[in-house]
Amino acid sequence: MCLLCTLLPVLVGLICAILGYLLGRLASKNNEELIRLSEDLESCSNEKERLLSLNAGLKSDLDECSRKFNKLETYYNGMKIGIDDWKNECVSLRKEFDEFGLEPAASLGGSDVDAAMAASGKMASFISSPLIDLPLIIKRFAELLALSSFSSLSLHISSL
């Protein structure tokens, strides 16, 4: 009976060893697929890291472009306000010019000097009014001359 007590566990162990070996061989066929899947997982992790770093770079570029856009938009709005101010100034100067009743130099024809003399006479009678500030009128008229093409008129007035 002692022989059966030792032989029986040895036989059970031998049978278990053979079954474990066979099961291990069957499982090793899937081991190649497991290796391929782990390599795919590693390549996907590397791709994810690369895309995250690229995304961070693109976000910083977008922030920089947004700052530049906001700076240019502010500059544009300031220029727009400045242009509107110049337009308003030009309109007011045009109104003052129309009040003088002068004709542009291009329409004066051949007698530019006579027309300039007539214009300076109108201006002299206008300036002699006590309600008019002479330096302001001269300044405004000089600005008007700079905006217009009164070449002969500007020569005559500068000699006054």
Q: Tens digit of pLDDT for each residue in 85-106? A: 888 888 888 887 777 765 555 4
Torsion on CA atoms 49, 50, 54, 56, rounded to nearest 10: 20
Average pLDDT, the chain: 75
| This prediction's pTM | 0.36
Q: List the domain boundaries for the chain.
A: 37-84, 101-160
Q: Does residue 154 carry a pLDDT above 50?
A: no
**What would the pLDDT profile of 110-131 be if each residue is shown by its tens digit?**
455 555 555 555 555 554 555 5
